[in-house]
């Protein structure tokens, strides 16, 4: 036979698959449905990256396998195309982002097809298409209608380099997600989505998510639930009290001073009583310069200013205690004020040492001369008349009862997560559908006027005033108020990159619906995403956002499931061969198209899956590319050895069953490297045989198909099949055939031999009994009778006594 000419053969199968829509998902099919989802790409000008291939291959393999297992598979793809890279490229080249996006999407689609990924290309969505973002705006308005959207002038994360407001999720670790620049705090008019209303639901929903621990704990930490209490500390000679949030009400006797955030409103309230206001104001200015990240860092050298003239009263010990401002207390968390317990909190300890404040031990067990004693398991309460002698846990319960009875405070829960800063001062995003009217104030665009389309402009650079480029387009800005018909202005900011991706998995279920974002019938048919694979970096970003949007839509009855995803996994990164993250600037980016050209898509797929454990990051190393190709060539070249026999070869039978079992289990657990290793071993065994049967070879091709589908289809056709492998069923293994040492088991009824079976050596009595009772022949004898006794002689016989 001719050699495996990948250019010709792969092209042939791709043309066939994609022109005939072989991977089309069928709405309302009778087959069981399976929805596999991969994170859709940002169609950058660089085209497909090796990381995209790795990310998609997991569910590509699963989807191809599921189709063979009889499922109606939805495996869609689309493009998350709004955002800065395209806009920046447009600014640089003066080509319109629309044009760039269309070109990039075309390139991407072709590249995905030349890798042979079995996406349903009939459902492609593009978040920048007005037919799509109309619904992104629509959902935003629904949130507005339900009180989940508000505007606030406040300090937010700002990237000086990208010149945009960032959400908390986009500035983790104090750095801009996009460009790694240190973020600053900037006072801005900001639209927020009240994602915090869903904090508890987002946490609870994790219980049902099938995923590894890391995916859950990262989300849990990000949501950051703390259980504690809000307590009121009266301010001396005043009607007001200072409210604090604490997770340690048990330490209240040890609260020897208070600290409020530099932005705390009481500074303004008491400005006439505070004697050192100059010093306070100077400190406030200084605190503004720091980012939140710098402020929460555990630095020993704490700073602060005492509020002279203002004194608080500990509501339990009745002691008078001083009040400080310090930047280690955040205005955005809890109540923006704390009761400081230096003996048992490290930050308070450092602060007390620096300003020489009273440190009172209330939990015995440590050495507070040296450091704060923060352990909550072993200590015992002291210096705390109402709760002395109790453990921390007991003390918490008792003091909370007292606190609630005496109306000093109440139990409270806090979340670390913050509301989602939602507007960006940029052109290439979804316009925020809001109108400002001098008479009516903030007016949402009526639903029937959607979409608010982005005007096609010539200039899309941000303006020097920090406003969106849309602000300078009069035709766009000037509008009439939908309420009073008076003159009004449009909001000129756009939505963040994460908006469109917050609901795209729903649109895939009904991508061309003009009346709704998706019909309830289709949402119900496809249900939850059965398996979602994506990047670990999205776990505390997109995953949280999209779960929030889905939960919201569920709460207003528009989607059937509260949680969008049943199962979530994440691939590891492919690093450069220098072990650094691949990037254009490092010049270590691997272009998968080059490998496809030289060795073929099947080789690329096999190689990338074989590279290492799928969930681990791994450096690129293309030494193995040739090996992957050799493996495929071996399978190709053994074709002439195939006989017409329709049973497995005796010599190979057990290995084939073992491989089917091991391969399937590995694939389902994302262990593609070991799955492929098993196929390689099997191929080596095949190679040693003079002949292999048709049955042997067919099972091998079926196993190979999800990994290297082009060569598998070609060889399948060469065997004389008219139908594609897509329609074949996945091979099954027989548990009994896995057994190595076998014995003959005699089955008798009332002492008369009725059946003989070959079974595994050394099975236990229960298994042997079960095998005997399951035998068809035995059943015929015992039907309608009573089994009095079963006598098992291991490795020999089972005798069933009936009456």
Which residues are documented as binding site for ATP?
Answer: 584
Give which of Zn ion, ligand ANZ, none residue 511 binds (C-beta under 5 to 8 Å, depending on kind): none
Closest distance to ligand ANZ from the beta carbon of 360 (Å): 11
Using a 10 angstrom Cβ sphere, with 0-12 exposed, 13-18 middle and 19 or more buried, the burial of residue 155 is middle
Give which of Zn ion, ligand ANZ, none residue 592 binds (C-beta under 5 to 8 Å, depending on kind): none
Give which of Zn ion, ligand ANZ, none residue 161 binds (C-beta under 5 to 8 Å, depending on kind): Zn ion
Question: Of 95, 179, 269, 753, which one interacts with Zn ion (CB under 5 A)?
Answer: 179
Q: Which two tokens stand for residue 495?
A: 């939505």
Residue ranges of the binding site: 584
Closest distance to Zn ion from the beta carbon of 180 (Å): 7
Q: Which two tokens stand for residue 765?
A: 């009595």
Give which of ligand ANZ, Zn ion, none residue 414 binds (C-beta under 5 to 8 Å, depending on kind): ligand ANZ
Closest distance to Zn ion from the beta carbon of 183 (Å): 8
Q: Decide whether 334 or 433 has the Cβ nearer to ligand ANZ.
A: 334
Q: What is the dihedral of CA 417, 423, 425, 427, to 10 degrees?
A: 130
Q: State the Cα–Cα distance between residues 649 and 376, nearest whole angstrom.
A: 66
Q: Which x/- pattern, by CB under 5 A, does the window 319-358 give for Zn ion?
A: ----------------------------------------
Closest distance to ligand ANZ from the beta carbon of 350 (Å): 13
Q: Decide whether 375 or 744 has the Cβ nearer to ligand ANZ.
A: 375
Q: Decide whether 347 or 538 has the Cβ nearer to ligand ANZ.
A: 347
Closest distance to ligand ANZ from the beta carbon of 88 (Å): 36
Q: Are 394 and 132 in contact (CB under 8 A)?
A: no
Q: Are 597 and 553 in contact (CB under 8 A)?
A: no
Q: Decide whether 226 or 588 has the Cβ nearer to ligand ANZ.
A: 226
Q: Decide whether 136 or 246 has the Cβ nearer to ligand ANZ.
A: 246
Q: SS3 of 371, please?
A: coil
Closest distance to Zn ion from the beta carbon of 187 (Å): 18
Q: Decide whether 345 or 755 has the Cβ nearer to ligand ANZ.
A: 345
Helices (H), 151-212: 199-204
Q: Decide whether 231 or 771 has the Cβ nearer to ligand ANZ.
A: 231
Sign of CA dihedral 765, 771, 774, 780: negative
Q: Which two tokens stand for residue 75?
A: 């495996």
Q: Which two tokens stand for residue 449?
A: 């006027």
Closest distance to ligand ANZ from the beta carbon of 765 (Å): 55
Q: Are 399 and 252 in contact (CB under 8 A)?
A: yes
DSSP track, 319-378 = -EEEEEE-TTS-TTSTTSEEEE-TTT-HHHHHHHHHHT------EESS-TTTS----SSS
Closest distance to Zn ion from the beta carbon of 588 (Å): 22
What is the 8-class DSSP label of residue 390?
-
Closest distance to ligand ANZ from the beta carbon of 559 (Å): 32
Half-sphere exposure of 133 (CA within 13 A, CB side): 26
Q: Decide whether 339 or 768 has the Cβ nearer to ligand ANZ.
A: 339
Q: State the Cα–Cα distance between residues 536 and 543, nearest whole angstrom.
A: 10
Q: What angle do CA 591, 597, 598 make, to 5 degrees?
A: 100
Q: State the Cα–Cα distance between residues 222 and 169, nearest whole angstrom.
A: 9
Give which of ligand ANZ, Zn ion, none residue 167 binds (C-beta under 5 to 8 Å, depending on kind): none
Q: Decide whether 158 or 283 has the Cβ nearer to Zn ion.
A: 158
Give the chain's radius of gyration (CA, Å): 33
CB under 5 A: which stretch of 72-80, 97-105, 171-179, 446-454 binds Zn ion?
Answer: 171-179
Q: Which two tokens stand for residue 677?
A: 């290793």
Q: Residue for token digits 């004389």? A: 720
Q: State the Cα–Cα distance between residues 71 and 35, nearest whole angstrom.
A: 9
Q: Are 563 and 527 in contact (CB under 8 A)?
A: no
Give which of Zn ion, ligand ANZ, none residue 162 binds (C-beta under 5 to 8 Å, depending on kind): Zn ion
Give which of Zn ion, ligand ANZ, none residue 260 binds (C-beta under 5 to 8 Å, depending on kind): none
Which is nearest to 491 in space by CA: 445, 522, 524? 445
Closest distance to ligand ANZ from the beta carbon of 335 (Å): 7
What is the 8-class DSSP label of residue 642?
B
Q: Decide whether 341 or 470 has the Cβ nearer to ligand ANZ.
A: 341
Residue 244: its H or E element: strand 241-246
Give which of ligand ANZ, Zn ion, none residue 334 binds (C-beta under 5 to 8 Å, depending on kind): ligand ANZ
Long-range contacts of range 559-563, CB-CB < 8 Å, 24 or more positions apart? Answer: 559/506, 559/518, 559/523, 560/520, 560/523, 560/524, 560/527, 561/527, 561/528, 562/201, 562/205, 563/205, 563/208, 563/209, 563/528
Give which of Zn ion, ligand ANZ, none residue 178 binds (C-beta under 5 to 8 Å, depending on kind): Zn ion
What is the 8-class DSSP label of residue 705?
T
Q: Decide whether 330 or 743 has the Cβ nearer to ligand ANZ.
A: 330
707 counts as binding Zn ion under rule CB under 5 A: no
Q: Decide whether 336 or 451 has the Cβ nearer to ligand ANZ.
A: 336
Residue 802: its H or E element: strand 797-802
Binding positions for Zn ion, 147-166, rule CB under 5 A: 159, 161-162
Q: State the Cα–Cα distance between residues 149 and 523, nearest whole angstrom.
A: 25
Give which of ligand ANZ, Zn ion, none residue 391 binds (C-beta under 5 to 8 Å, depending on kind): none
Q: Which x/- pattern, by CB under 5 A, does the window 422-451 give for Zn ion?
A: ------------------------------
Q: What is each CA distance from 686 to 692, 694, 700, 705, in whole angstroms? A: 7, 12, 10, 17
**In sequence order, which residues have a C-beta less than 8 Å from that of residue 517 and are 6 or more positions away?**
135, 138, 139, 503, 506, 507, 510, 558
CB under 5 A: which stretch of 56-64, 118-126, 170-178, 296-304 binds Zn ion?
Answer: 170-178
Closest distance to Zn ion from the beta carbon of 157 (Å): 10
Closest distance to ligand ANZ from the beta carbon of 151 (Å): 23
Q: Decide whether 220 or 622 has the Cβ nearer to ligand ANZ.
A: 220
Q: Residue for token digits 């691939």? A: 571
Q: State the Cα–Cα distance between residues 700 and 694, nearest whole angstrom.
A: 10
Give which of Zn ion, ligand ANZ, none residue 481 binds (C-beta under 5 to 8 Å, depending on kind): none
Give which of ligand ANZ, Zn ion, none residue 49 binds (C-beta under 5 to 8 Å, depending on kind): none
Question: Of 176, 339, 392, 399, which one interacts with Zn ion (CB under 5 A)?
Answer: 176
Give which of Zn ion, ligand ANZ, none residue 577 binds (C-beta under 5 to 8 Å, depending on kind): none
**In sequence order, which residues have a C-beta less than 8 Å from that of residue 329 and are 6 or more positions away?**
259, 260, 261, 336, 337, 338
- Under the rule (CB under 6 A), what is the footprint of ligand ANZ? 226, 245-248, 251, 329-330, 333-334, 336, 338-339, 341, 344-345, 414
# residues near Zn ion by CB under 5 A? 7
Closest distance to ligand ANZ from the beta carbon of 337 (Å): 7
- Contact residues toward Zn ion (CB under 5 A) are 159, 161-162, 176, 178-179, 181
């Amino acid at each position: 036979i001719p050699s495996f000419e990948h250019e010709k053969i792969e092209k042939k199968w791709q043309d066939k698959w994609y022109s005939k829509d072989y991977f089309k998902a069928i709405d309302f099919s009778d087959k069981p449905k399976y929805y596999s989802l991969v994170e859709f790409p940002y169609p950058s000008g660089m085209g497909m990256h090796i990381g995209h291939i790795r990310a998609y291959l997991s569910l590509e393999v699963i989807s191809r396998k599921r189709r063979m297992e009889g499922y109606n598979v939805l495996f869609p793809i689309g493009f998350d195309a709004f955002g800065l890279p395209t806009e920046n490229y447009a600014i640089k080249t003066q080509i319109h982002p629309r044009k760039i996006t269309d070109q990039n999407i075309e390139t991407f689609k072709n590249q995905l097809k030349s890798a042979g990924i079995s996406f349903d290309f009939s459902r492609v969505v593009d978040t920048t298409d007005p037919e799509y973002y109309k619904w992104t705006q629509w959902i935003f308005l629904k949130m507005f209608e339900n009180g989940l959207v508000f505007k606030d002038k406040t300090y937010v994360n700002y990237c000086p380099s990208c010149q945009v407001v960032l959400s908390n999720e986009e500035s983790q670790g104090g750095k801009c997600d996009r460009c790694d620049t240190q973020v600053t705090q900037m006072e801005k008019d900001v639209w927020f989505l009240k994602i915090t209303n869903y904090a508890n639901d987002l946490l609870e929903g994790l219980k049902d998510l099938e995923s590894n621990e890391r995916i859950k704990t990262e989300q849990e930490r990000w949501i950051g639930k703390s259980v504690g209490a809000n307590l009121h500390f009266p301010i001396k000679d005043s009607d007001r009290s200072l409210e604090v949030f604490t997770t340690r009400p048990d330490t209240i006797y040890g609260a020897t001073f208070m600290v409020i955030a530099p932005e705390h409103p009481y500074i303004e309230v008491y400005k006439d009583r505070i004697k050192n206001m100059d010093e306070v104001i100077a400190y406030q200015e200084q605190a503004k310069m720091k980012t939140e990240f710098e402020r929460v860092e555990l630095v020993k050298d704490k700073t602060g200013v005492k509020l002279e003239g203002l004194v608080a009263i500990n509501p339990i010990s009745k002691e008078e205690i001083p009040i400080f401002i310090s930047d280690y207390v955040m205005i955005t968390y809890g109540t923006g004020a704390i009761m400081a317990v230096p003996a048992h909190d490290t930050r308070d300890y450092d602060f007390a040492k620096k300003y020489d404040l009273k440190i009172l031990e209330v939990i015995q067990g440590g050495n507070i001369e040296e450091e704060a004693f923060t352990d909550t398991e072993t200590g015992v309460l002291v210096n705390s008349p109402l709760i002395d002698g109790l453990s921390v846990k007991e003390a918490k319960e008792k003091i909370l009862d007292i606190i609630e009875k005496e109306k000093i405070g109440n139990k409270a829960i806090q979340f670390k997560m913050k509301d989602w800063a939602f507007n960006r001062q940029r052109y290439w995003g979804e316009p925020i559908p809001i109108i400002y009217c001098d008479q009516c104030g903030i007016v949402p665009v009526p639903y029937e006027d959607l979409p608010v389309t982005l005007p096609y402009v010539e200039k899309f650079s941000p303006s020097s005033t920090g406003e969106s480029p849309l602000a300078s387009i009069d035709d766009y800005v000037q509008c009439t108020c939908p309420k009073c018909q008076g003159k009004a202005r449009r909001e000129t900011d756009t939505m963040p990159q994460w908006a469109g991706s917050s609901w795209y998995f729903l649109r895939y279920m009904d991508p061309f619906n003009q009346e709704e974002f998706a019909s309830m019938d289709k949402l119900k048919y496809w249900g939850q995403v059965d398996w979602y694979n994506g990047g670990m970096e999205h776990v505390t970003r997109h995953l949280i956002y999209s779960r929030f949007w889905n939960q919201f839509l569920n709460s207003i009855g528009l989607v059937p499931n509260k949680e969008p995803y049943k199962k979530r996994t994440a691939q590891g990164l492919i690093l450069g061969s220098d072990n650094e993250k691949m990037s254009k600037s490092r010049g270590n980016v691997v272009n998968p198209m080059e490998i496809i050209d030289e060795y073929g898509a099947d080789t690329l797929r096999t190689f990338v899956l074989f590279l290492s454990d799928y969930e681990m990051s791994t450096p690129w190393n293309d030494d193995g590319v040739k090996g992957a190709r050799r493996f495929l060539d071996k399978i190709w070249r053994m074709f002439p050895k195939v006989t017409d026999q329709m049973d497995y070869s005796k010599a190979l039978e057990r290995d084939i069953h073992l491989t089917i079992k091991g391969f399937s289990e590995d694939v389902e657990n994302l262990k593609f490297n070991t799955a492929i290793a098993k196929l390689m071993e099997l191929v080596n065994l095949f190679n040693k045989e003079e002949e292999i049967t048709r049955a042997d070879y067919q099972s091998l091709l079926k196993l190979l198909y999800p990994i290297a589908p082009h060569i598998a289809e070609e060889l399948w056709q060469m065997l004389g099949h008219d139908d594609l492998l897509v329609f074949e069923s996945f091979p099954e293994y027989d548990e009994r055939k896995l057994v190595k040492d076998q014995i003959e088991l005699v089955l008798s009824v009332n002492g008369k031999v009725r059946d003989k079976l070959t079974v595994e050596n050394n099975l236990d009595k229960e298994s042997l009994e079960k095998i005997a009772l399951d035998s068809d022949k035995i059943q015929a004898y015992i039907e309608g009778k009573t089994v009095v006794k079963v006598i098992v002689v291991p490795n020999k016989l089972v005798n069933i006594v009936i009456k």
